[in-house]
Structure 1
Amino acid sequence: MAKHLDLGKKGELMAKQHLEQQGYEILDENWCHGKAEIDLIAYKDKVIIFTEVKTRSGNYFGEPEDFVDARKQRIMAQAADEYIYLMNHQGEVRFDIVAILFKNEHNYKLNHIEDAFWPSAT
């Protein structure tokens, strides 16, 4: 497997563990709808949280969370709409980002950004 894919999988596992430690229930991992994939779908306090995980080995081109652009947000929102419909969820939803920046294999910074964005309806 390519090194960047290994790093991404490691980041998703770390994000999942972080959310669980914070009391979130993980409902789904890598949930797909069409071409969209939502890394983690969690539940806490009657809110479904759609979470994008971004893991990087450097911030030369920006912080990991900077790569969740408007296009990605729209795609996530479309997938989230389908998930909400399928689960018949009548409560609140939220979009979070878990950004993980590795300095080396054992030194990293994890930044959980709650309510990171609200996708536009376009």
Structure 2
Amino acid sequence: MGEHNNTGTRGEDLAVDFLERNGYEILRRNFKCRRYEIDIIAMRGDWLLFIEVKTRSNLEYGTPEEFVLTEQSKRIMQAAEEFIFTTNWQGHIRFDIISVAIGEYTEVIHFEDAIN
């Protein structure tokens, strides 16, 4: 596994820890639907959350959340539709981003309702 994958996995682990400490239940990690993937599917109250985790060890080229592209957002929404359909979810949904910066200091920031 390459350095990039190690950084991404570490970021997802930190995001899961952050979510669990803040009262979220993790339903799935790395949910795959055809070519699409959602990093974390979580639940809190009557909200189902689809969460994209972006991790960077170097902020020279921008913050992690700046790397969620429009095309990627569309793929996340398509995978979410599949999950909603197969589970017959009838409640609220939200698309979030968790930004993880790993370096001298580790920072986890949760952006709610960040993907439209």
| TM-score after normalising by structure 2 | 0.96
| TM-score after normalising by structure 1 | 0.92
Aligned equivalent of 2:75: 75
One-letter amino acid matched to 1:20: E
Task: Report the secondary structure of 1:82's partner residue.
Answer: helix
**CA deviation after TM superposition for structure 1 residue 117, in Å:** 1.8
Query: What's the Cα RMSD here?
Result: 0.8
Aligned equivalent of 2:113: 115
The separation in 1 between residues aligned to 2:43 and 2:17, in whole angstroms, is 14
**CA deviation after TM superposition for structure 1 residue 103, in Å:** 2.2
Q: Is it true that 1:89 corresponds to 2:84 in the alignment? A: no
Task: Report the secondary structure of 1:49's partner residue.
Answer: strand
Q: Is it true that 1:20 corresponds to 2:16 in the alignment? A: no
**CA deviation after TM superposition for structure 1 residue 60, in Å:** 1.5
Structure 1: unaligned runs, 5 residues or longer: none
Q: Runs of 4+ in structure 1 displaced over 4 angstroms?
A: none
Aligned equivalent of 1:99: 99
**CA deviation after TM superposition for structure 1 residue 36, in Å:** 0.6
Task: Report the secondary structure of 2:26's partner residue.
Answer: strand
Aligned equivalent of 2:10: 10
Residues 26-50 of structure 1: per-residue CA shift (max 9 Å, x gap)? 0100000011110000001111100
One-letter amino acid matched to 1:27: L
Structure 2: unaligned runs, 5 residues or longer: none
The separation in 1 between residues aligned to 2:4 and 2:72, in whole angstroms, is 19
Seq. identity, %: 41
The separation in 1 between residues aligned to 2:72 and 2:87, in whole angstroms, is 22
The separation in 2 between residues aligned to 1:64 and 1:95, in whole angstroms, is 16
The separation in 1 between residues aligned to 2:47 and 2:88, in whole angstroms, is 13
Residues 63-98 of structure 1: per-residue CA shift (max 9 Å, x gap)? 100111110100000000000001100111000111
